[in-house]
Amino acid sequence: MIARLSGRLIHKGTESVVVDAGGVGYEVFIPLSTFYMLPDLNEAVTLSVHTHLREDAIQLYGFLTDEEKSAFGLLIGVSGIGPRLARNILSGITVAELVGALSSSDKARLSTIPGIGAKSAERMILELKDKVKGIEHSKPHDAAHKTDTMTSDVISALDNLGYKGNSSSEAVRKAKAHLKPGFGFEELFKESLKALAKK
């Protein structure tokens, strides 16, 4: 089983990446949260990997954080949720938000994720409410540091998409003003893109 993969990023897309490790190109399926934080092409990358065995194929699912991989592993253990849907779930909600929604039995929040209806949300809460507590992110020493790091990550992601300099910083500043406290990377990134589109 492949549990971790390090190598050179030779292709990246919103659905999957290809990592060259020792001359072999491995295709790895990824959620959007991982895509947004990938390095540039031909740079080094390390992914936590879940190896999914099927009768006709071996598929790799990769994540930039161990928390995402742990969440993915729990999600595919839920009846009716396969690897593709689990990846889509992590593309629509951060791990921290997922843990919060499951812990508080927030069926309404879970139902807003594409591919998850009311029954699926209820099943996720029933089966994962107690299990997700073990994958919560370690709390940073101060919230400001966490926010600053997230801001830098979003600006970097926008730069990778071609937005440069002050435009990215200004868009992030406007996005933060519109969001409620406790927002995650995905929310800040999407709101920043909206701000840039209005220019």
Q: Look at the chain and count its residues.
A: 199
Please name which of 16, 11, 43 lies closest in space to residue 29, comparing C-alpha atoms.
16
User: Per-residue confidence of the chain (199 residues) as pLDDT tens digits?
Assistant: 788 999 999 999 889 999 999 899 999 999 988 888 888 889 999 999 999 988 788 899 999 888 889 999 999 999 889 999 999 999 888 888 888 889 889 998 898 888 888 898 999 999 998 888 777 553 333 333 444 567 777 887 887 787 766 677 778 878 877 777 667 788 888 888 888 887 6
List the domains of the chain with CATH numbers: 4-63 (2.40.50.140), 66-135 (1.10.150.20), 143-197 (no CATH)
Whole-angstrom Cα Rg for the chain: 17
Task: Tell me the one-letter amino acid at 196.
Answer: L
Q: Please list the residues that pair with 163 across neighbouring strands.
A: none
Please name which of 85, 91, 101, 80 lies closest in space to residue 14, comparing C-alpha atoms.
91
Residues 6+ apart with CB under 8 A from 116: 85, 89, 110, 124
Predicted TM-score (pTM) above 0.85: no
